[in-house]
Amino acid sequence: MRVRVRFFAVAKQLAGLERLELELPEGSTIAQLRQQLAAAAPRLRAVLPQMSFALAAQYATEQTPVVPDVEVACIPPVSGG
Amino acid sequence: MIQLTNQAIDPTEVLRTVQSPAAGAVVLFLGTVRADEDSDGRKTIALDYECYPEMAAQEIQRLEQEARNQWRLSGCAIVHRWGRLDVGQISVAVAVSAAHRQAAFAAAEWLIDRIKAVVPIWKQACFDDGSRQWIHPGLNAASELQDP
């Protein structure tokens, strides 16, 4: 399945793009997506362990299954306020 | 009222939305851009905020609901600004009203703490030498990385 990942802040800066499409096996989880991302965007590798992920604009866990056509966001440590 | 805006925040307007005859206390918290200096002597002249709009609004909504579950509030308003803000400008306003001050103070403090911890908003420091740096708590090494 094709999954679109959206980047913000330092992740966007490092990846050099705002969105990236990944090809993942059906039933993949956020943990597997994280691994694929390290291969697809090597410049993100150093910070990937500190990134959170959101699925459909809600925080996901490593076990959350990724769903086709539902936006995944790569969320660096937040610094609002 | 929950709002993400790239326009200047008017505290009077925010306060107006939480005032109510049921409230004996109104607490307003404002976050403002501080003139900072880092270890290299670079001075912060502005902060550039980015947000994930759909999710940020949803997360703030969820926090308001959690606050209302913990304290009996009359009103609650949260406004966060995005885009480039100069030193002294208001980045966030949290206004809470309640029958008594204890609940209003506690809820306002809890809300700003949670906003800073979970809402997908990020700031980039803009320095007087023209350089910029993303601020990500716990990610110091990475935030030192600059564009090639």
What average pLDDT does chain B have? 94
CB-based contact, B144 to chain A, within 8 Å: no
What is the dihedral sign for C-alpha B116, A11, B62, B5? positive
What pLDDT shows up at residue B39? 86
CB-based contact, B34 to chain A, within 8 Å: no
Q: Name every residue whose Cβ is closer than 8 Å to that of residue B103 and which is 6 or more positions away in sequence.
A: B25, B71, B72, B73, B96
**Distance of residue A72 Cα from the nearest chain B Cα, in angstroms:** 11
pLDDT band at B142 (very low <50, low <70, confident <90, very high): very low
Per-residue model confidence as pLDDT tens digits over A22-77: 999 999 999 999 999 999 999 999 999 999 999 999 999 999 999 998 999 999 99
What pLDDT shows up at residue B141? 53
Specify the DSSP element, H or E, that contains A20. strand A19-23
Phi-psi region of A27 (alpha: psi -120 to 50; beta: other; left: phi over 0): left
Q: With CB atoms and an 8 Å threshold, state whether B141 touches A46.
A: yes
Q: With CB atoms and an 8 Å threshold, state whether B121 touches A78.
A: yes
Residue B144 CA to residue B42 CA, distance in Å, equals 13
Q: With CB atoms and an 8 Å threshold, state whether A57 touches B136.
A: no
Per-residue model confidence as pLDDT tens digits over B67-109: 999 999 999 999 999 999 999 999 999 999 999 999 999 999 9
What pLDDT shows up at residue B139? 87
| Mean pLDDT value of segment B100-125 | 98
Q: With CB atoms and an 8 Å threshold, state whether A80 touches B115.
A: yes
Q: Name every residue whose Cβ is closer than 8 Å to that of residue B72 and which is 6 or more positions away in sequence.
A: B98, B99, B103
Per-residue model confidence as pLDDT tens digits over B2-42: 999 999 999 999 999 999 999 999 999 999 999 999 888 99
- Chain A residues near residue B139 by CB distance under 8 angstroms: 10, 47, 50, 76-77
Q: With CB atoms and an 8 Å threshold, state whether B112 touches A81.
A: yes
Q: Is B129 exposed, middle or buried (0-12, 13-18, 19+ CB in 10 A)?
A: exposed
**Cα A22–Cα A28–Cα A32 angle in degrees, nearest 5:** 70
**Is the per-residue pLDDT at B43 higher than 60?**
yes
Residue B19 CA to residue B95 CA, distance in Å, equals 9
3-state secondary structure of B19: coil
Give the best residue of A10, A17, A19, A75 to mutate against chain B (max B CB count within 10 A). Answer: A10
What pLDDT shows up at residue B140? 60
| Mean pLDDT value of segment B105-130 | 97
